[in-house]
Amino acid sequence: MTITTPAGFVASGHAAGIKPSGALDLALVATEDGRPVPMAATFTQNKAAAAPVQVSRAHLAANGGMGSAVIVSSGNANAATGTGGRADAARMCDVVAGRLGCRPEEVLVCSTGLIGYRLPMDVIEAGIPDLVATRGAGEEAAVRAATGILTTDSGRKEALYEGSGWTVAGMGKGAGMLAPDMATMLAILTTDAEVHHEALADLLRVAVRDTFNSMSVDGCTSTNDTVVLLASGRAGPVDPVDVVDGVTEVCASLAGQMAADAEGASKIAHVRVAGAASDGEAHRAARKVAESLLVKCSFNGGDPYWGRVVSELGSAGVAFDMDRVAVSYGGVTVCRDGVAADHDEEAVAAHMAGTVIDVRCELGLGDGTGVVTTVDLGHGYIDENRGTS
Amino acid sequence: MTITTPAGFVASGHAAGIKPSGALDLALVATEDGRPVPMAATFTQNKAAAAPVQVSRAHLAANGGMGSAVIVSSGNANAATGTGGRADAARMCDVVAGRLGCRPEEVLVCSTGLIGYRLPMDVIEAGIPDLVATRGAGEEAAVRAATGILTTDSGRKEALYEGSGWTVAGMGKGAGMLAPDMATMLAILTTDAEVHHEALADLLRVAVRDTFNSMSVDGCTSTNDTVVLLASGRAGPVDPVDVVDGVTEVCASLAGQMAADAEGASKIAHVRVAGAASDGEAHRAARKVAESLLVKCSFNGGDPYWGRVVSELGSAGVAFDMDRVAVSYGGVTVCRDGVAADHDEEAVAAHMAGTVIDVRCELGLGDGTGVVTTVDLGHGYIDENRGTS
């Protein structure tokens, strides 16, 4: 079990026929009794947000942070589908709510897959009764749910945090934006901790900022990204600080699994910026370096060309003094006070040849720190993304 | 002749020994008599601006927009070189000024090449006397100057605009940021039109905005980018509107030559956005699409996946209404009112298979228009950029 490990939740997965392969393509996570519990969610900031994101946002606003279920479909993003697509997303919630005995606005909906195609609503509507009927708290139900949300992922992505007498569980999909046809990042989390819905929204925002939002493979923002967290309260009150830790750990684990699953990538790189004017500026500078095509190419080639890193820092739109900057690879300083520093070239070469690259940039201006995790840019990325077929 | 076609200018090129190959690596453009004339320049916005940019900015501020010469060195960017590097750049101006008989602040300096290495000042100082001594207005001098600023360029980049009794000439280097070790974009322009130095600065800003700043290959901002324009006044007063046209045409020609020379690219794409809330928003949206890795990969594969274009428009940070957007490839509308439009798929496929891709996005919100030219992202880019050696 994973997503159903926290007390009070059931799950299921079903092959409705959205995917031509016949693989599982619907998933459900719901409260055991269908009654609403505190629910929080974060969504893509993309103004071209897909229909299910628009509908889920409206439902979350209407249900006052109290929800019963999430339905996920995979194989088609229901994005760029207009008013018809929004009606389809709403209809999915209606049908689930009718079967669970809750209100439609207590159900959120996520979809992931190709952009620009209407959902095959006939097979989805035909499949939902089976999806709901087969829900359960056992191992097989949890596995089928975690499988039903996948697209190009190489395998299930699940994480569990065990607190003292309570747990947080998560399941996710996403291969680091490296298979953009199915690029969406989705994560559904459950916990049995008792948390007020307003506190739940706050802590989810913090956890997502520090995990999923600190990861960037290609800087593209999906139309469908969604993270949902449900809290059954079955384990009773838990110190909110502990809940933040637990949710953050589960999000971090899922984010790491997504980065590791980035198709076409051969290396992961952690870009850390310290000494910035603020944490926000550090994060922005780290993201500019992490999203630079030139820097990502140099990771691919294992080339410690710090000049590119410094050039990106200088154009990140943050406070910057060239004469104070330092850069290190794998703990070896290669640039100090803005100029080349004598260093152990063999040690740097050995670090760059590995699969995890650690780049640290010190701006020498303040206390701001930030980190963004990315991957290298090689032929594999191109090959994955030059066509949809 | 080109850079020396406008009356009143001389040029030269010299092989000082910065480049191991022995190729020309110093270039000079100066007024015939060494006396200052109206001069304008635009520089990179990168806060990690290289030493020559810092020195040129200071000289332009000190000379009140009246300058005599520009010296360019190629093979080493003199970037990330600290106070020593700034002293080297200033020294280059001093030596040129001494030989020309002008003041050091009347000389600007540009360098292009690898970041993080001090210039070989011994060979540069030894070479400048020959560089200055061989200056002339003839064909060979112009060719040597246009050659001496090149790095990975496949050939000279020159442009000439012939007005009625006056001319604008330009020489440039840059292969569209596609060979980042030598990524800098430099352009030196001369005209014999009589223009006040303040008007010259204004019109250069307009011309650069509409040409070089509307081109993006990988979104990286070089530490050394510089455009300089000198106006001898020898042809007498010219209608300022005509001068803007002439300078813009020369800049556009040089920008086009740079894009066409982008190593590793197989296609050029013009991304046009109309119907935005403002021209600024249209430009920003066009740039977001043009710099998207996913969109650039789809250009490489000739895949008309408009879903990616819409997704980038939605995350460009501009006013956007998904239900009003339209996208066309080669004049064929593939998305209308935010959803897929029936279209001639063969016509689109034929357009995408060509070497120039035309993408038009209509936001349906206002009158703002903008265009950004880019190239595709294929294996060639990776191969050019994964190592410095």
In angstroms, the separation between the Cα of residue A260 and the nearest Cα of chain B is 19
Q: Which two tokens stand for residue A43?
A: 């969504």
Average pLDDT, chain A: 92
In chain B, the residue whose alpha carbon lies closest to the alpha carbon of A319 is B47
Contact B387 A301 (CB under 8 A): yes
- pLDDT, residue B181, reads 43
Give rounded-to-5 percent helix, strand, coil for chain A: 40, 25, 35
| Cα angle, residue B104 at apex, residues B98 and B106 outer, rounded to 5° | 115
Alpha-carbon distance of A166 to A192, in angstroms, equals: 6
Alpha-carbon distance of A387 to B298, in angstroms, equals: 6
In angstroms, the separation between the Cα of residue A122 and the nearest Cα of chain B is 20
Contact A220 B311 (CB under 8 A): yes
In chain A, the residue whose alpha carbon lies closest to the alpha carbon of B217 is A293
In chain B, the residue whose alpha carbon lies closest to the alpha carbon of A48 is B314
Alpha-carbon distance of A357 to A375, in angstroms, equals: 9
With tokens 């509908």, the residue in question is: A55
Give every residue of chain B whose pLDDT is below 70, as ranges. 176-183, 216-221, 263, 388-389
Please give the single-letter amino acid code of residue A12: S
Q: What are phi and psi of B287, to 5 degrees?
A: -65, -40
B25, B74 contact by CB (below 8 A): yes
pLDDT in tens, B139-175: 999 999 999 999 888 899 999 999 999 999 999 998 7
Catalytic option among B184, B191, B223, B373:
B184
Average pLDDT, chain B: 92
Q: What is the mean pLDDT of residues A297-303?
A: 91
In angstroms, the separation between the Cα of residue B339 and the nearest Cα of chain A is 5
Contact B303 A386 (CB under 8 A): yes
Q: What is the DSSP letter of B3?
A: T
B152, B175 contact by CB (below 8 A): yes
DSSP for A83-135, please give it: HHHHHHHHHHHHHHHHHHTS-GGGEEEEEEEESS----HHHHHHHHHHHHHT-
Strand partners, A186: A173, A226
In chain A, the residue whose alpha carbon lies closest to the alpha carbon of B77 is A307
A157, A172 contact by CB (below 8 A): yes
- Sheet strands side by side (includes B339-340): B339-340, B332-336, B326-329, B356-362, B268-276, B368-375
**Domains identified in chain B and CATH numbers:** 9-260 (3.60.70.12), 268-385 (3.10.20.340)
- pLDDT, residue B294, reads 83
Of all helices (H) and strands (E), which one includes residue B59?
helix B51-62
How long is chain A?
Answer: 389
| Burial readout A110-139 (b: 16 or more C-beta within 10 A, e: otherwise) | bbbbbbbbbbbeebbbebbeebbebbbbee
- Sheet strands side by side (includes A69-76): A9-14, A26-31, A69-76, A107-114
Strand partners, B359: B271, B329
- pLDDT, residue B217, reads 60
Alpha-carbon distance of A246 to A248, in angstroms, equals: 5
Instruction: Examine the pLDDT at A178 and tell me if it is beyond 70.
Output: no
Residue A219 — pLDDT band, cuts 50, 70, 90? low
DSSP for A218-248, please give it: SS---SS-EEEEEE--TT-B--HHHHHHHHH
Of all helices (H) and strands (E), which one includes residue A70?
strand A69-76
Strand, helix or coil at B150? coil
pLDDT in tens, A16-30: 999 999 999 999 999
Contact A293 B293 (CB under 8 A): yes
ipTM of the complex: 0.82
Give all strands (DSSP E) within B81-123, no chain letters. Answer: 107-114
Q: What is the mean pLDDT of residues A265-289?
A: 93
pLDDT in tens, A20-76: 999 999 999 999 999 999 999 999 888 899 999 999 999 999 999 999 999 999 999
Contact B48 A322 (CB under 8 A): yes
Catalytic option among A5, A184, A226, A374:
A184
Chain pair A-B, CB pairs under 8 angstroms: 205
Q: Which residues of B touch A377 (CB under 8 A)?
A: 293, 382
Contact A298 B378 (CB under 8 A): no
Say if strands A368-375 and A268-276 run parallel, antiparallel, or are unpaired: antiparallel
Task: Examine the residue annotation and report whether A83 is marked as an active-site residue of this protein.
Answer: no
- pLDDT, residue B218, reads 61
- pLDDT, residue A168, reads 98
Residues 6+ apart with CB under 8 A from A244: A203, A206, A207
Contact B82 A323 (CB under 8 A): yes
Q: What are phi and psi of B182, to 5 degrees?
A: -130, 50
CA distances to A193, B235, B374 from A239, in Å: 9, 81, 52
Say if strands B268-276 and B226-231 run parallel, antiparallel, or are unpaired: unpaired
- pLDDT, residue B176, reads 59
Residue A232 — pLDDT band, cuts 50, 70, 90? very high
Say if strands B26-31 and B186-191 run parallel, antiparallel, or are unpaired: unpaired
Alpha-carbon B29 to chain mean position:
17
- pLDDT, residue B162, reads 97
B79, B89 contact by CB (below 8 A): no
Q: Which residues of B touch A325 (CB under 8 A)?
A: 48
Instruction: Examine the pLDDT at A181 and tell me if it is beyond 60.
Output: no
